[in-house]
Structure 1
């Protein structure tokens, strides 16, 4: 077993883990940037495998913090579709090489980053009312797929959940439970891809304390600081990282 020795890897990976921790603590949207960042410095499938146990530990903190605020109907509607999406994501990752996966991660990052920047140009897509239930089912599939490929299932789920106009804590709590469940659902897929190996699990152990601390910090900060303050910088970063991953996958 040989761990990465480049200092740049540990800096980028630490930033990715902190972003996921803040997202799990209530700053929804920040976590989607983590996997694209990791894909810059390591094999994207290996990076996702290393990150998954960290996400699952962080889920314990976030679910406990928001356990009294969630919408049961949304979970019943979206989770079955997410299972289908996870299966499709596993099929794709098992059939293509690392560069192709990196390209997919880049496309997902670029698309979601641009989508979240649209309000700056008064181009935000708004629904006149709550989205139909079939939209929730479709978004569940997309969320499961993008979560399996890049741990970036947040945006599709949020499109549905935001249309329901939930109170902020209900939105955060429902998101926390949804992703805690689908992260467990992803375990067999990543095991089948051989990503729970000694090297990945050693890296997981190294970053786990930082993951827990950043999640606790997110839980405390989300009740005091508006997440909107971070969004523009994070989404610009996501667009740049996504474009770079696409470039790497092509050249």
Structure 2
């Protein structure tokens, strides 16, 4: 337990963090988890990147619990076991080789995939039929997701490459993805704790942000239920494209401050 409650005192941090957390909660509840890329760049304007990630991780874990409740009992029984196995393996690989990994190269690779994938969905030749579930593809892309989530907090694009072509019902898609990213985020708590990132100040700040996160998630879940599948998948593609552009910018060392 913490010996005392503490929090980041800088008011500019909260001016940035509150809208960032609302946006992420909105996305996680309505259009696909794994969207911390949207918040981390904003919060990193006022905090070092590793501290920003440490503050956000408990908040993301609470969002996952809210999303799990919102989509309780809903998941694809063919897809979920495959992607969970691959995702946890990917986190393990990332933890084992993190010290030797070139982060910029990973960002550029994942960013390129994230940009090309929605462009292909919009402009490339593709079948109108759902892609069949594939064990090898599911394991590969979910392992990539777990790996890039651990290394660069960028797990969303690789998983979307596998899941979007399946054309699941939007609520089945969300329920499956919610469980996957909840598992990944909770597994990541262990190395973050080991790295000493959960200080009293960081955890206290996370607690302050949690009510804002719940507002974002519940609003996203409400909107999700209002959308048809076509609009939902268009929003998923747009979010994936924006994440890819941000990853490419980070990989090339561009700063928008």
Q: What is the number of residues matched between the two proteins?
A: 245
Give the aligned partner of residue 152 of structure 1: 154
Gaps of 5+ in 2: 1-5
Mapped pair 1:22 → 2:26: yes
Equivalent of residue 212 in structure 2, options 206, 210, 213: 210
Give the aligned partner of residue 164 of structure 1: 166
SS in structure 1 at match of 2:22:
helix
1:178 Cα deviation (Å)? 1.3
State the TM-score, normalized to the length of structure 1.
Answer: 0.80
Q: Deviations over 1:19-51 (max 9, x none)?
A: 321122121267143334444543332222211
Give the aligned partner of residue 115 of structure 1: 116
Equivalent of residue 141 in structure 2, options 139, 142, 160: 139
Give the aligned partner of residue 193 of structure 2: 191
Mapped pair 1:83 → 2:85: no
Mapped pair 1:3 → 2:4: no
* 8 A contact 2:59–2:206 mirrored in 1: yes
Normalized per residue, which structure has more helix?
Answer: 1
**Cα separation, 1, equivalents of 2:44 and 2:187:** 22
Give the aligned partner of residue 51 of structure 2: 46
Structure-to-structure mapping, 1:171-186, within 5 angstroms: 171-186=173-188
Q: CA RMSD in A?
A: 3.3
SS in structure 2 at match of 1:68:
coil
SS in structure 2 at match of 1:72:
coil
Moved more, 183-192 or 237-246: 237-246
Give the aligned partner of residue 74 of structure 2: 69
Moved more, 26-35 or 189-198: 26-35
Taking a change above 3 Å as real, the CA distance of residues 219 and 201 of structure 1, as seen in their structure-2 partners, is same
**Cα separation, 1, equivalents of 2:38 and 2:56:** 13
* 8 A contact 1:23–1:215 mirrored in 2: yes
Gaps of 5+ in 1: none
